[in-house]
Amino acid sequence: MKIDAFLDKKEARQLQLVRQTILAGGRLADVELMQRLQIAKASLEKDLQDLLHFLPTFHGAITLHYDGQWLTIDLAADFSLLNLYRAFLKNAIKFQIVDHLYQYKEFTIAQLTTKLALSESSLFRKIKELNGALQDFQIQIKNGQLQGEELQIRYFYFQLYWQLVPYEHHQAVTMTLQNQRTVAALEKALAFAFSETSRLQISLWLSISKRRLSVSNKRYQQLTAKMSFFQEDPLYLQVRQFVLRFLSRYPLEFDEGEAMLHFVFLITRSILSQAAFSDYVLLRKRRALTSLADTIILETIVLHYQPQKFTPSLEKQIVYYLAHIHSQVYFLAGQLEFYEQSAWIQSHETTTHQTALTFARSLLQKSCSYLQVNLNDENSLYESAVVYYAQVFALIEEELAGVVDIALDFKLAPLEAALVSQLLFSALKGVNRIQIERYQPQKVYNLIITDHQHSKNYQGRPYQYVLSEFACAYDLQQLQKLIQKLLSS
């Protein structure tokens, strides 16, 4: 589900206009824009006029200039397009309906038509449009309530508010004193230490959960079925006991589903650190579908990269990421897209391995069959999973490529040595994946750059490059070639 789905056509188009220009580097020809947005020049000009009227509310943080042919947009260094979305969403009727349902859990038509100053027919139309978009999350607005699996409802709100609410607001407002205490209690109960971001995520999840706690007739059917593999999972049992103990302090009736929801949240949101997760992997059931998928996909990736070998720490890192991809695909449906995923895919295709996305898609197909989920179901999370897999490949390639350790070992006079060193540091600064320093005898290097041929026995028999001239252009060219050779080997 794209975030634009909350907006009316005109607002969505205006935002697209800004986004497309930013994606193009901040400057785009109007002809190109009209083609991309499929609009006439008159509509474009009207949209630009509206934007020019609206953007000053950001006090210069975003500026737009149109010279009748080219559109130029400048963003301040601390300004994200999300700020623009927030401003548009605040006034968007469809967002207000969803937000009202979060605050009050239900509505009557009379209440909403009055609150939003809408006719009944307009309200019904908006709800219908919203339901079309919410299908991605397998939830819908019906009889004045948000209906569907409770996990999906909370997941939807989490996605919405986590990204929509500024991080500083989460720090200052979402993290209430009570949430702080609960997060600290959870850390103690699970013997984990959460990062600040994880704490804030848990805090938001708790706030959403508290709001939803009093809703009657919550649905857990799919979740219960999926959790059948996790009934003896050690982390689930810990979370379950914590949740039941926590809730038993209040005169509220709760059910097993509540504990399951919190467990799923923890394992699908990268809340656990990699170290904590690695400990959990040792204890979790191997036969759970997600564990199985993690193992199978890891093996497939290992085979794919053969004969290159993964270090144990890289494997752990891969499993950590795979586990999140698979637990999301297994438990959840829908993804709220704030950023243009297709733009990322396009840039990925052009900048990294051409077959990465094909391989990612084949992995998704494989994991879906092990997770027993239907890849044909409409679920935007699947496309995100492809992107996540591709990100795992990028990580692997980065790790496998490693780093070339370079040392400068000169016999020149100190002043001359300093000068050449400075020249080389500056010249090679822009080359990726190298570490360059002055030679230290106790260390092992891949490449030694020196000013004279000698028979010095360097540790680990590194490549040696003797400068032909005082780090001339030729030397730099040769060095770059050598570094690339070392990286690819």
Judged by the rule CB under 8 A, the positions of this chain that interact with other proteins are 178, 181, 184-186, 188-189, 210, 214, 216, 224, 231, 237, 240-242, 244-246, 248-256
CB of 372 to other proteins, least distance (A): 20
In this structure, which amino acid lies at residue 251?
P
Residue placing its CB nearer to other proteins in the complex, 266 or 449: 266
Supply 101's token pair.
């349902």
d(CA 159, CA 332): 12
Supply 343's token pair.
């733009």
Residue placing its CB nearer to other proteins in the complex, 16 or 238: 238
Contact 272, 280 (CB under 8 A): yes
Residue placing its CB nearer to other proteins in the complex, 55 or 202: 202
Residue placing its CB nearer to other proteins in the complex, 182 or 384: 182
Residue placing its CB nearer to other proteins in the complex, 103 or 354: 103
Contact 419, 429 (CB under 8 A): no
Which residues, 6+ apart, have CB-to-CB distance to 288 below 8 Å?
Answer: 229, 230, 233
In this structure, which amino acid lies at residue 76?
A
CB of 229 to other proteins, least distance (A): 13
Residue placing its CB nearer to other proteins in the complex, 200 or 227: 227
Phi, psi of 466 (to 5 degrees): -100, 125
d(CA 476, CA 178): 60
CB of 235 to other proteins, least distance (A): 15
CB of 192 to other proteins, least distance (A): 11
Phi, psi of 83 (to 5 degrees): -60, -40
d(CA 9, CA 125): 13
SS3 140: strand
Residue placing its CB nearer to other proteins in the complex, 27 or 188: 188
CB of 105 to other proteins, least distance (A): 13
CB of 248 to other proteins, least distance (A): 6
Phi, psi of 140 (to 5 degrees): -155, 160
CB of 185 to other proteins, least distance (A): 4
Supply 252's token pair.
């509220």
CB of 371 to other proteins, least distance (A): 21
Angle of helix 150-164 relative to helix 93-104, nearest 10 degrees, comes to 120
Residue placing its CB nearer to other proteins in the complex, 185 or 444: 185
Which residues, 6+ apart, have CB-to-CB distance to 29 below 8 Å?
Answer: 69, 70, 71
CB of 108 to other proteins, least distance (A): 18
d(CA 157, CA 162): 8
Length of the chain: 489
Residue placing its CB nearer to other proteins in the complex, 254 or 439: 254
